[in-house]
A and B are shown apart, each in its own frame.
Chain A
Amino acid sequence: MSKRKSKESSGANGECISQVQKILRERFCHRCATGKLFGIEHQYRHLLELLKRTIVHGESNSALIIGPRGSGKTALLNHVLKELTEMKQVRENLLEVHLNGLLQTNDKVALKEITRQLHLENVVGDKVFGSFAENLAFLLEALRKGDRTSSCPVLFILDEFDLFVHHKNQTLLYNLFDISQSAQTPVTVIGLTCRQDILELLEKRVKSRFSHRQIYLTNSFDFKQYIRIFKEQLSLPAGFPDESFAQKWNKNVQHLSEDKTVQDMLQNLFRHTKDLRSLHSLLMLAVSNVTVHHPLITASDLHEASKQSRMDSKANIVHGLSVLEICLIIAMKHLNDVYEGEPFNFQMVYNEFQKFIQRKAHCMYNFEKPVVMKAFEHLLQLELVRPIERPSVRAQREYLLMKLLLDNNQIMDALQAYPNCPTDVKQWAASSLSWL
């Protein structure tokens, strides 16, 4: 019945569907800080107070936000900043400098970026900084000139903080922390990192200057909360233009969350990872199936998405191989079993393959060696096989030592699913002694 209903409204819903897609995709791609935060209210308050004090009182600070990937470090910070910018006093009183360890790969680049973001380059006119040393001196001078009450506080946000640690002498970190601990321009340094051992990486004098405020984020929610998160992430907001559709959609989501199979599927995902990003990518796949003719997400959509996201990448590749290539892989598997994972070379694989061919000559075409070699190189390109040393000019290709990058389980699973696999090959795969 619902199907008919949906068909009825399908024409009118075209606009709606694209709205839904837009809203949900934005949410899943972390485009903005609109999503809610889950279970980190305490950390939120802590960070908010910290930044507020910097801005209102001009108190210098430093803090690290530490948590595994996808635990919402950046989201937390963005939320705090969003709330802060809503206060008028704050908006006009804060300078932000955003750095990312992946972009600012050394201190020189980082300093340039800081100068740019603080708009200090305007002051110098078109004078280009001659050297790194000059730039550092320049920036330190600028920061030293300020004092607590009169200067505008500067907020330094160092994303991928752990990468800054590897800069030479940790000069940037030392200077930032040093400023935050002396009566200069008020500065707050916030580092975001997923490394739990970050403090051990800091040099001792840098560490001494760091205030040791650490805000830990852990995905500490349980499965019930996870289901709630699932619901909230998939629901449409109250301000959705087509109210009736939104209601229908949300009701459907409610049903889904109570569905046993969906819960099982989610449980499985939850057991694997608490990272909300994987949930997002799963939902993204499901939402992509929503069309005008298929306006509501069904349990099967979710199952399909889950199956897709759980797929084993290497096993997928095996599905597309030729029989010859499969045979080579099986030969390698046997070599692995015999030699207990020791590396092998092409010649050994070829010999193993030849043994099989001789036994079962009636059902397998005997390929010539160059053809087998070609097949082997194809496997090499697919990275199912990997040389353990770099190929050199002198070494013959046949004798390069290799390792197989597939586990026995993967091979057997792939063979089960392989279409039209010769029975002999299957038997050979199961046991190298099958000819007996």
Chain B
Amino acid sequence: MNTRQQSKIIYSWYGKPMSSDRKLRTSRYKGILITSERSRTETCIQLGNFILVEGENADQPFVAQLLDLYEDGGQQKHAVVQWFSHITEIPPNKRKLLKREVSPQEVFFDQVSGYDTDIAVETIIKSVMVIPLHLGEELPITLNKEQSFYVKQSWDGKCFKALSPDTFSKLKEANKKGGGISNSFIPLDITSPRKKERESVVRSATKPKNVELEIESKHSASKSSLAKERHSQRVANGMRTPTARKKLQLNSPTRSSKGRLLGCEVLELLDDDCDAVAPLEPSATKRKVKFTGILGSPPKMPCANDKPKSMFDTAEHWQTFSDTIRLSPYSKVKDSSEKAKNLNRKYDIICSVGHQELGSQSPVLTPRSRRICVQRTSALIAEQISVLNTLELNQEEDFLSSSDSSYSSSSEEEDDDVLCTPEKKTKSSRMLSTPKSSRRSSVHTPAKTLKKTPLPGTPKTPRNATPEIPRRNHEAQKPVSILEEARLRLHVSAIPECLPCREEEFQDIYNFVESKLIDGTGGCMYISGVPGTGKTATVREVIRCLQQAAENDDLPSFQFVEINGMKLTDPHQAYVQILELLTGQKVTATHAAVLLAKLFNTPGPKRKTAVLVVDELDLLWTRKQNVMYNLFDWPTQKHSKLIILAIANTMDLPERIMMNRVASRLNRLNTEILLQTCRVYFQVAALSGDARRCLDICRRATEICEFASQKRTPEIVRMAHVTEAIDEMFSSPYINAIRNASLHEQIFLKAILAEFRRAGVEEATVQQVYHQHVALCRIEGMQSPTISEIMAICSRLGACRLLLVESSNKYLHMRVRLNISQDDVMYALKEE
């Protein structure tokens, strides 16, 4: 790519403008000439040709078909393309849908609606061949592997399909012609704002014949009526759940957007089924009618029959099912994995319904919203609180019996087991618990890590295999006693599923990121709070929810990148890490900065929005502040599609550290995270507001309890144990250290006090203290120590930091100071 940049390349139009729009001052062309000065070659690319387009990764140019070329009012040359996807561009979790090996030469006809098809002409590299093949066919062997690609299937973001014969023939034709302008591919009008663009396509007289265009038009149609839909849905939601708060209705846009996508898909499927090119009426409204017709169709789908596990057979669940069916007019999709996911979703919703019924049981939790994740969070809070309440209230009952519903949930039962239990009554309460228990157990099972580690959409280039810590030879023991179980739960690492007292911050962050994602713009947010208040946990939870939403196609998919200032050796390494996580390239820091700047400053086609979480931001401080400046500058760029969530401890970081130019770029949306002292925390909150500390204390308390109860029967954790744990963690070690010091060490401390009193200065030389020491020894009638011994005493006390001492080469003239208050020393020595 670099060589390309170095040698000058000139892009010029081929031929006269075919047509021009005077109003918009655009003119369209049928081809473009690429002239390279260095090699003195000239290539002509015409409409319908296949081309390579510069990607974010230099080694991986995108493949596309040129559909249109035009020059806008600002003399900018644009091209409209039909994308093809490499296998690496397809999210790793979807690749397995293919169920076959894919050669690097194979590409997929891209029908993902999210990508921008309007690119700058300057990003075109060269022309290539793309040959359509039937699914069974072997790839023919060709000599110039870099020049030709093969396409067998299409990819629409969810599943792979065989090419429709229409597309197939068109591709073939385009290839054969080598530049013939196929009329059917040009329908896109050239109005500049993208949203309008497609709408006008629909209105334009061209008859959209191929599937892809229909989808696009539909897509835009539904998008145009997005606001309306949103509104109506909101109303509907409000009607249905009077308890839901207004601010928590952020689900509605996502839901509608999902509905939109689904609508498209259903139509597309219909098209596919008929295999007929049904010309659609051009009016958008009419299409919408059709769309809603499908949406509104009664929940007749008896898809439960062919679902892998038909669990929803009780009438009660059918009811809820039909209630929430609006969310998923999906079930016609033949893909089974999709269905399974769908199933999960419904199931979650049911759970939340069940949870609402439960509301009366545990008064702490108030069902506030229908948002699934919030729902879950609050359920978890409730559980946590009740578990800890039992800790606190000293209830005599056993853990199990005291918190029947909340605790039993934690038992490691499989989902299926729970679902299959026939009793209706316990079901509702158990239902509530299951999503959590499944996620709880996912701490042990690799399921979660599987879900988490592959960043959706990041093409993982094969790299040197990173090493692993060896596997253990014996299985980790499952917790046996109730206390062990509780301890496991109280471990700090086990927390991310539950964020008590963080709902508002969660909502703020979620809304922020979601809105930016939907808009496709960039932005940054600064999150501050003292350590252990759950900044990172909240952000992670937000990302998790967003990822889930994206997986369910409620949101445009995005790339998630996390860096941590503490995990970098140098602030500039941030560039390297970001670039590596985004594109998989490994370069030096300076080069990475250049590449990233290019990435975010130029309009990247096909690029997803990136959500970048910068933890421990204050460590990225450099004297020139260029790292921070860049981090906050990129999101403000027009094409960046970058959302930054910066996390740091210091509340006033923007004012204190950042210079004006940096601070001005930071969208001051300070989410101050303040710990609310809920019942659980009040004990520790008096000492520190750190949630980690609280959990550690509780964990230690269970240990102490276990330790104490080894001889007797198992006991529950009492307040006494918690107090002991707190004492253990927060008691000052100095007093104890002084009391256990040797006699002469104590006399030395006394001598220091005496010398301080005599001189009136809180600093003395060893020589002065020595004289006091000798005097004290005489009073006590003891043998006085030699200077060497005094020096030894002094250095011992200095090593413990009871004293602060100078370097010992000054010998007698070494100055000594107390590291604790004189009162403490006196108090500690008086007891003897």
Contact = CB atoms under 8 A, between A and B. Distances in A.
Nearest to A198: B801
B711 to A, nearest CB: 13
B813 interface: yes
Given A136-B569, A152-B469, A175-B566, A314 B464 contact: no
A310 B786 contact: yes
B797 to A, nearest CB: 9
B15 interface: no
Interface stretch (B136-144, B473-481, B552-560): B473-481
Given A60-B493, A196-B802, A407 B740 contact: no
B768 to A, nearest CB: 9
B475 A149 contact: yes
A220 B733 CA distance: 14
B487 A59 contact: yes
Nearest to A150: B471
A68 B700 CA distance: 24
Which of B446, B494, B649, B796 has its CB near the most chain A CB atoms (within 10 A)?
Answer: B796
A41 to B, nearest CB: 12
A326 to B, nearest CB: 18
Contacts of B786: 310-312, 315, 410
B193 interface: no
B408 to A, nearest CB: 22
Contacts of A66: 733
Interface residues of A, number: 90
A146 B707 CA distance: 30
Interface in B757-774: 767, 770, 774
A125 B143 CA distance: 35
B14 interface: no
B830 interface: no
Contact of A275 (B444, B690, B796, B810): B796
Contact of B479 (A57, A69, A133, A311): A57
A216 B739 CA distance: 13
Contact of B469 (A57, A154, A204): A154
A268 B783 CA distance: 8
Interface in B523-541: 530-532
Interface in B439-494: 443-444, 446, 449, 464-477, 479, 484, 487-488, 491-494
Contacts of B733: 66, 196, 214, 216
A117 B744 CA distance: 43
B678 to A, nearest CB: 19
Contact of A205 (B491, B649, B728, B788): B649
B616 A205 contact: yes
B785 interface: yes
A272 B819 contact: no
B792 A273 contact: yes
A197 B734 CA distance: 8
Contact of B566 (A92, A151, A169, A196): A169
B788 A140 contact: no
Contacts of A350: none
A232 interface: no
Contacts of B813: 403, 405
B695 to A, nearest CB: 9
A101 to B, nearest CB: 13
B793 interface: yes
A57 B703 CA distance: 14
- Interface bracket on B: 35 or more
A212 B693 contact: yes
Interface in B764-812: 767, 770, 774, 782-783, 785-789, 792-793, 796, 799-802, 810-812
Interface stretch (B113-121, B570-578, B625-633): B570-578
A409 interface: yes
Interface string B725-759: 00011100110110011111100000000000000
A407 B784 CA distance: 14
B619 interface: yes
A254 interface: no
A241 B492 CA distance: 54
Nearest to A107: B569
Given A68-B796, A142-B467, A213 B472 contact: no
A362 B827 CA distance: 60
Contact of B477 (A56, A141, A314, A315): A56
A280 B18 CA distance: 100
Contact of B464 (A118, A127, A204, A268): A127
Contact of B568 (A133, A148, A195): A133
A140 B799 CA distance: 33
Nearest to A275: B796
B577 to A, nearest CB: 7
Interface string A358-398: 00000000000000000000000001001000000000000
A57 B477 contact: yes
B620 to A, nearest CB: 11
B788 A152 contact: no
Interface stretch (A9-17, A176-184, A244-252, A416-424): A176-184
B38 to A, nearest CB: 33
A270 interface: yes
A170 to B, nearest CB: 8
A65 B468 CA distance: 29
Interface string A10-54: 000000000000000000000000000000000001100100000
A271 B782 contact: yes
A188 interface: no
Nearest to B810: A386
A270 B707 CA distance: 34
Given A196-B733, A271-B782, A314-B788, A219 B740 contact: yes
Contacts of B700: 213
A59 B466 CA distance: 24
Given A147-B449, A171-B566, A181 B745 contact: no
Given A69-B799, A208-B531, A196 B737 contact: yes
6 shortest interchain CB distances as A-B pairs = A208-B531, A123-B467, A218-B740, A312-B786, A271-B743, A183-B493
8 contacts: A45-B707, A68-B741, A204-B531, A209-B531, A273-B792, A311-B788, A314-B811, A405-B811
Given A123-B465, A204-B531, A212-B693, 15 more contacts: A68-B737, A95-B469, A108-B569, A133-B576, A145-B468, A145-B469, A149-B444, A169-B619, A174-B566, A205-B616, A311-B786, A312-B786, A312-B787, A312-B788, A386-B811
